[in-house]
Structure 1
Amino acid sequence: MTSSTDPAAAVQTPAARTPSRRVTSLDVVRGLMLCVSVGVNSLLATPAWFDHAGWVGVNGLDLVFPVFVTLTGCGLGFAMHRRTNVRTLARRVLVLVAAGLLYNALTTNAWDPGTWRFTGVLQLYAGVVVVIVLGHLLTRSARGWFVVTTVLAVTWTTVLAWFATTCAGGELTRECNPSGVVDLAVFGAPHVYWQGAAGHDPEGLLATLGACVSAAAGATVGHLVLSRPGPRACLRPVLLVVAGFLALAAATTWVPELLTGQAVPLMKRLWTPPFALLVGAGVCLALLLGHLLLDRPSAPTGLRRVVWPLEALGRNSLLVYFGSHVVMALLGHHAGADGRNLAQRVADTVAVAGHPQLSFTVLALLVWGAIAAVLHRRRIYLRP
């Protein structure tokens, strides 16, 4: 846990002596994403049409974590626009990995070290932080990060397209995909997603490469925003970057088909480049809209007050995102004699006008909003 006044250990450039510029729109967009995340976590039963896609394709729930990762890349781009924190990197990564193991045990209620899942969302997140931080030793420009995004996307596309040629029919399946080979070989079946029964790991080593495409896209727009004198100056460049991401998404989908006869599919399970780039383009547009509305000097004071709760949520996005997952998992464990778990009991208790789900979701949003507001007032933030 760090405060906003903590000194940053760094490899610094001369530009590090210039004052920083807080971009409110990033926190507000993160706050909106967290409202969706907390609302999703509060679902007592997830509708099939919204739940994670079984393999190829994308459903609503597949978008939440990738949007979070893309916004993380943007935030790291802001934080490292002038300096790169390397002294604290190892400690933060170790903390994230250790927290990820605990997170897995809490959310699945599995405490046997012989079957602990070594991979997971926090471990993937730690890998993304490593890549983005080290990438800032190479470049701190929007153009440079667009190149990094392109290189990562092309690399992952090449791996997927090549591996598909080794599969029956030239198609990536649960039974034939690179994650099912690499992640199981590195960690062992008992220590990955569904103990290897799923045939892949959506938060394994190879999925981390796809997540880095999303984060690098976020870093691109982050550096682009900070390199411009104001929101209006960002309009055309951001739209050009979005067009570039869309073109890359099309290229990483169809060029493999021209070369091998099989397109790289749009899917979250393997975090394919077309998926990562389309999410990146959407997040860029949301950030641009927020930047135009909130970060101009003439932004109405009333509007800033209205979005302050979202800003507070966004400033502690790591805590709220993962904390809400853990709390809901704990509430969902151990059904009573009547078959209801603690979450269902709380929902029935707070139900207003016969709507337990809606009432429970509103309660969850209010609780996490209050926690974020108190921490924001005290300038206490949990950082990656």
Structure 2
Amino acid sequence: MCVSLCLSLCLSVCLSLSLCLCVCSPVCHPRHKTAVVKMDEASLTVNNELDAEMVVSWLSDHCYQCVYQPLGVVPAGPGPGLTSSMDFTVGTQHGITLQLNSSPVSLELCTVHYHFWEHGNYSLWVKNLNDSSVVNCSMITDTETVNSYLREYSLTHSLTHSLTNDLGFPCRTVETATDTILPGPATPSRRLRSLDTFRGLSLVVMVFVNYGGGRYWFFRHESWNGLTVADLVFPWFVFIMGTSISLSVSSALRCGLSRFSLFTKAVWRSVQLFLIGLLIINPNYCQGPLSWDSLRIPGVLQRLAFSYLVVVSLDLCVAWNSLDNLPFLLYWPAWLCVVVLETVWLCLTFLLPVPDCPSGYLGPGGIGDMGQYPNCTGGAAGYVDRWLLGENHIYQTPSSRVIYKSHLPFDPEGVLGSINSVLMAFLGLQVTAIIIHYLALSAVSLVSFFCCLSGIISAVLTKCSLNEGFIPINKNLWSLSYVTTLACFALLLLVLIYYTVDVKRWWSGAPFYYPGMNSILVYVGHEVLEEYFPFRWRMTDSQSHAEHLTQNLLATSCWVLISFLLYRKNIFWKI
């Protein structure tokens, strides 16, 4: 065990040091990038023919109940029929509303809603018509632009199609543990190739969005409520970890291993995952010795370690050496424990007093909620993390800063959210027990039922709305509706993959099957080698979505290829 931990930590440290050297070297330093026009921005010229100074403010369509933000001031026209103008830069990711007020008397002149396109040039003319009391605001497109979100479709399609064809389909089966995180003392009697395929699919999407996703907003984490592609993969990874726990524990018990020995192995693996996670998210060695004062504690692998340990413990408490009874009856004590944990989450979230914040607050703080609660980011979740871990030991630049301008640190892998990640992993555990116990079509029917049930629960919790529900879908908080919604998606996707891969054998699972067999190596490797060639190179035009998309797709494809070659050599990194 000591040798395994030492090797794992040494590999992480060495790769992190290598990453640091790249970051500190002139080749990778941002000062060598030249940018003329930035991505996701357009140029706006505001022309003022009025005889009064004008204040321009803006508000993103994506910002819920937010206050207008100042954009700039346009001087009054120098004389009758003469125009003063001022140039501004506006965002193009979402539609925005421009509000124009007279100054110094704050009188609203007009509001203009518009969705600008990237690298476009626009003019907003503000003038009086025949009646001097009537202000006319008109938007004019000076330069035709192209929707940058559509023009790279052919490139994406051709690269992914080429990757799939080049790797082909696996021609043999390598009997390894069902998950590189989990114990594998014995080979399960019934191998579910669909689980490795699902895990690999989630991991490939995770690598792609972590590398930038072409710098598109829908491949980045949502600023607060709602979902993007980037918000799907981590819960799916937690879910599939739960499925692997069921297979590993049941297989080990059938082979005669004691529950205590399995528990000690689970503790050891959780410790290793936690320590590796700390090294990955704190790669600041080139700036001197790592400071304990600013060490970030929560992280992806840390949450996986916690969820894994809790769910393994629950499974060991109730699992039998054989699945002769119905899974529902088998796991009812564990379900009670999960219900208790969820009750704790609900009580802390909605009843815990948070200084200067309303009870049960689930908002982003900052300029949200009309700026009433700027220091309440995350409500109880943020307060618990800051009180328990300290402000310097959690994530300093949360996604809520992008739109909501929040200034408090907030960790999306915080303490309260870890409770709901346990629920996600436990759902995976329960579903796998169903798949193993029942015949193929019966298992598909039961899993589909749970999928529909999760969807109904989500609809009730959210009231089928983005922001108006009892508990909105929120990845930053790992809210209960977020877990039930992602569980619904995961169950639907698992049913489809299980039916096509394991039941009908229409698809082998390639190319996603290969990274699914080496998940820890791919995850750790892509994090610490991100700045190295061939995963990244100096771009000709760093403000081009097309070049970023090409780079991110090729980097992701490299990890799929690496996992394929390791699979052919029967090399798997397990902890």
After TM superposition, the score normalised by the length of structure 1 is: 0.79
Q: Which has the higher contact order (CA 8 A, sep 6+)?
A: 1
Distance 1:195 1:60 in 2: 20
Q: 1:4 to 1:216 in 2, by over 3 A?
A: same
> Where in structure 2 are there 5+ consecutive unaligned residues?
9-173, 178-184, 254-258, 320-325, 366-374, 399-406
Moved more, 211-220 or 319-328: 319-328
Is the 2:461–2:469 Cα contact (8 Å) retained in structure 1? no
Find the counterpart in structure 1 of residue 206 from structure 2.
Answer: 37
Is the 1:44–1:344 Cα contact (8 Å) retained in structure 2? no
Aligned amino acid, residue 226 of structure 1? I
Find the counterpart in structure 2 of residue 79 from structure 1.
Answer: 248
Deviation at 1:148, TM superposition (A): 5.5
Moved more, 79-88 or 217-226: 79-88
Deviation at 1:217, TM superposition (A): 1.6
Distance 2:186 2:207 in 1: 38
Is the 2:213–2:219 Cα contact (8 Å) retained in structure 1? no
Aligned amino acid, residue 382 of structure 1? W
Select 2:478's aligned residue among 262, 268, 271.
Answer: 271
Deviation at 1:253, TM superposition (A): 5.0
- Structure with greater strand percent: 2
Deviation at 1:33, TM superposition (A): 1.9
Find the counterpart in structure 1 of residue 488 from structure 2.
Answer: 281
Distance 1:18 1:380 in 2: 17
Distance 1:181 1:146 in 2: 28
Distance 2:284 2:483 in 1: 26
SS in 2 for 1:245: helix
Select 2:552's aligned residue among 353, 361, 383.
Answer: 361
SS in 2 for 1:381: coil
Find the counterpart in structure 2 of residue 24 from structure 1.
Answer: 193
Aligned amino acid, residue 526 of structure 2? S
Is the 1:164–1:172 Cα contact (8 Å) retained in structure 2? no
> Where in structure 1 are there 5+ consecutive unaligned residues?
7-15, 255-260, 333-341
Q: 1:116 to 1:362 in 2, by over 3 A?
A: same
1:236 paired with 2:445, answer: yes
Aligned amino acid, residue 168 of structure 1? P
Aligned amino acid, residue 64 of structure 1? V
Distance 1:36 1:299 in 2: 23
> Which string of whole-angstrom CA distances, capped at 9 and with x for unpartnered residues, describes residues 99-140 of structure 1?
111101128977322211122111111111111111112334
SS in 2 for 1:34: helix
Map 1:206-221 → 2, pairs under 5 A: 206-221=416-431
Is the 2:214–2:548 Cα contact (8 Å) retained in structure 1? no
Find the counterpart in structure 1 of residue 527 from structure 2.
Answer: 325
Aligned amino acid, residue 473 of structure 2? L
Find the counterpart in structure 2 of residue 316 from structure 1.
Answer: 518
Deviation at 1:223, TM superposition (A): 1.4
> Which string of whole-angstrom CA distances, capped at 9 and with x for unpartnered residues, describes residues 312-351 of structure 1?
11111222234223322x459xxxxxxxxx9341x559xx
Is the 2:411–2:476 Cα contact (8 Å) retained in structure 1? yes
Deviation at 1:30, TM superposition (A): 1.7
Select 1:120's aligned residue among 299, 312, 317.
Answer: 299
Distance 1:270 1:363 in 2: 32
Is the 2:242–2:425 Cα contact (8 Å) retained in structure 1? yes
Distance 1:74 1:19 in 2: 13
Distance 2:515 2:434 in 1: 24
Is the 2:454–2:484 Cα contact (8 Å) retained in structure 1? yes
Is the 1:320–1:368 Cα contact (8 Å) retained in structure 2? yes
SS in 2 for 1:68: helix
Find the counterpart in structure 2 of residue 102 from structure 1.
Answer: 279
Distance 1:228 1:382 in 2: 32
Find the counterpart in structure 2 of residue 343 from structure 1.
Answer: 536
Distance 1:361 1:18 in 2: 36
Is the 2:397–2:409 Cα contact (8 Å) retained in structure 1? no
Deviation at 1:182, TM superposition (A): 1.8
- Structure with greater helix percent: 1
Q: 1:252 to 1:160 in 2, by over 3 A?
A: farther
Identity of aligned residues (%): 27
After TM superposition, the score normalised by the length of structure 2 is: 0.54
1:171 paired with 2:361, answer: yes
Deviation at 1:5, TM superposition (A): 6.3
Deviation at 1:309, TM superposition (A): 2.9
Is the 2:458–2:484 Cα contact (8 Å) retained in structure 1? yes
